[in-house]
């Protein structure tokens, strides 16, 4: 490569990173448009911080990694202790500065970050900048589900839906595929790419719909221990729930949204199926058997707009599971990306050869056999965190996220 080409490539890269940072920020701030101070500070659930905290934490993280670690500046904000990930217990995160004050903090960090981007050594730092955009993307999604949770808590009436047919299934023939992602924007837990052999299995063409799940409700599934694991039944006795959390304004063909891993597992047992392992999920989503190669997205390697899947809040709710035929995987699965996250049967673990990046607490401390992996992203998930290899993880009792599932057998 000539110097000139190398140079213009770097310019291009700076432009692209800058654009991504700005687009991501615009999406984050759009969530706050109608938010009052009470909502900004309210803790909707003991396990999730107020949305105002998440907003400040986005700026704090940007200042820590870019301004302190890379630009070697010393911290000059009073917000350090408030917005650091493990500085204060979640319950002490309710006395927050105002939205305007936090926005000033974001703006002041961001303008220094963009100045530094002009001179940053991207050969050294490219991975970090991509990580940072995905960090904000993920907190942006958390803000969105905490807002949805607050809405649900303010009350709604539960509807019964017409129940629906059992799901159509697709046969995935036995063989090897490549799992994971070595790209520059891959998170530590996606690396390295490795070959995995799977026996033949069948996977649902669509995520489980609310209509299908209504059959489980109608059959008193929530009252019958027969479908639940011991841990799941124990959780249910204490949680006392009778339907998925996000059950308002849904139709029979909407995907189930707002279930714990336990509910997903119980439903799968009820229909004589099980949850897919992560490998089964990823092969069905990304493997192009004809060309023996993995795809970044089910439909190919480019995320063009929003006609292939429901993400980035462009529709602002879940869509019918058959709404995106252009988003099918090579095997013919729908909705592998967007709409709802999908619980898998797999505990969160490092792949063989895992090394942490950028800090041990991003992924590795969660390899504790207590977290299950979710795949695929939701109707909120930002484009930077949307791909077949992306792994999300939560405790099995968490149902406040935009999580559904599909089954295999």
Of 135, 269, 382, 399, which lies in the binding site for ligand AVJ, with binding defined by CB under 6 A?
135
Instruction: Please report, in angstroms and rounded to a whole number, the separation of the first and last CA atoms in the chain.
Output: 50
Nearer of residues 44 and 203 to ligand AVJ, judged by Cβ? 44
The rounded distance, in Å, linking the Cα atoms of 209 and 248 is 14
Q: Which position has the token pair 């406040």?
A: 400
Q: Which is nearer to ligand AVJ, 233 or 362 (CB)?
A: 362
As measured in angstroms, the least distance from the Cβ of 393 to ligand AVJ is: 6
Q: Does 208 bind ligand AVJ (CB under 6 A)?
A: no
How is residue 325 written in tokens? 């035929």
In whole angstroms, how close is the CB of 25 to ligand AVJ at the nearest point? 16
Give 232's DSSP letter. H
Length of the chain: 409
* Cβ atoms within 10 Å of 171's Cβ, excluding its own: 9
* Residue number, 135 or 294, with CB nearest to ligand AVJ: 135
DSSP label at residue 193: -
Number of residues that bind ligand AVJ (CB under 6 A): 7
DSSP codes joined into one string, 80-116: HHHHSTTTS-GGG--S---HHHHHHHHHHHHHHHHHH
The CA distance from 356 to 131, in Å, is 12
Q: Considering beta carbons, is residue 142 or 344 the nearer one to ligand AVJ?
A: 142
Q: Which of 43, 209, 296, 392 binds ligand AVJ (CB under 6 A)?
A: 392
**Least distance in angstroms from the C-beta of 238 to ligand AVJ:** 23
Does 349 bind ligand AVJ (CB under 6 A)? Our answer is: no
Find tokens 């101070």 and name the residue.
Answer: 37
Taking the least distance from each CB to ligand AVJ, the nearer of 262 and 393 is 393
- Distance in Å, CB of 380 to ligand AVJ, minimum: 12
Should residue 142 be labelled a site residue for ligand AVJ when binding is judged by CB under 6 A? yes
The CB-nearest residue to ligand AVJ is: 138
Residue 393 in the binding site for ligand AVJ (CB under 6 A): yes
Paired sense of beta strands 293-294 and 391-394, if any: unpaired
Footprint of ligand AVJ (CB under 6 A): 135, 138-139, 142, 362, 392-393
């Amino acid at each position: 490569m000539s110097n000139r080409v190398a140079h213009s490539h770097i310019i291009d890269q700076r432009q692209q990173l800058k654009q991504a940072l700005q687009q991501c920020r615009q999406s984050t701030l759009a969530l706050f448009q109608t938010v009052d101070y009470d909502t900004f500070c309210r803790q909707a659930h003991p396990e999730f911080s107020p949305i105002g905290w998440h907003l400040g934490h986005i700026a704090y993280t940007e200042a820590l990694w870019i301004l302190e670690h890379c630009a070697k500046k010393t911290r000059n904000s009073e917000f350090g202790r408030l917005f650091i990930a493990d500085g204060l217990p979640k319950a002490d995160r309710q006395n927050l500065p105002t939205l305007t004050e936090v926005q000033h903090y974001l703006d002041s960090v961001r303008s220094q970050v963009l100045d530094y981007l002009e001179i940053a050594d991207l050969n050294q730092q490219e991975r970090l900048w991509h990580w940072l955009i995905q960090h904000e993307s993920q907190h942006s999604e958390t803000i969105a589900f905490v807002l949805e949770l607050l809405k649900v808590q303010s009350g709604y009436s539960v509807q019964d839906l017409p129940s629906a047919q059992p799901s159509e299934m697709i046969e995935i023939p036995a063989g090897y595929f490549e799992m994971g992602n070595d790209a520059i924007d891959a998170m530590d837990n996606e690396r390295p790419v490795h070959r995995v052999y799977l026996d033949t299995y069948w996977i649902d063409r669509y995520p489980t719909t609310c209509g299908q799940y209504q059959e489980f409700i109608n059959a008193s599934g929530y009252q019958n221990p027969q479908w639940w694991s011991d841990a799941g039944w124990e959780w249910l006795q204490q949680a006392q729930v009778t339907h998925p959390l996000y059950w308002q304004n849904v139709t029979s063909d909407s995907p189930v949204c707002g279930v714990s891993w336990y509910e997903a597992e119980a439903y799968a047992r009820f229909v004589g199926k099980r949850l897919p392992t992560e490998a089964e999920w990823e092969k069905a989503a990304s493997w192009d058997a004809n060309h023996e190669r993995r795809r970044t997205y089910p439909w190919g390697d480019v995320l063009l707009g929003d006609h292939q899947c429901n993400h980035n809040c462009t529709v602002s709710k879940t869509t019918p599971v058959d709404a995106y035929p252009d988003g099918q995987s090579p095997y013919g699965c729908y909705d592998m990306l967007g709409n709802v996250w999908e619980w898998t049967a797999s505990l969160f673990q490092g792949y063989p050869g895992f090394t942490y990046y950028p800090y041990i607490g991003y992924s590795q401390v969660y390899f504790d056999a207590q977290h299950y992996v979710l795949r695929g992203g939701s109707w909120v998930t930002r484009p930077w965190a949307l791909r077949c290899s992306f792994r999300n993880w939560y405790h099995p009792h968490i149902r406040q996220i935009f999580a559904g599932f599909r089954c295999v057998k």
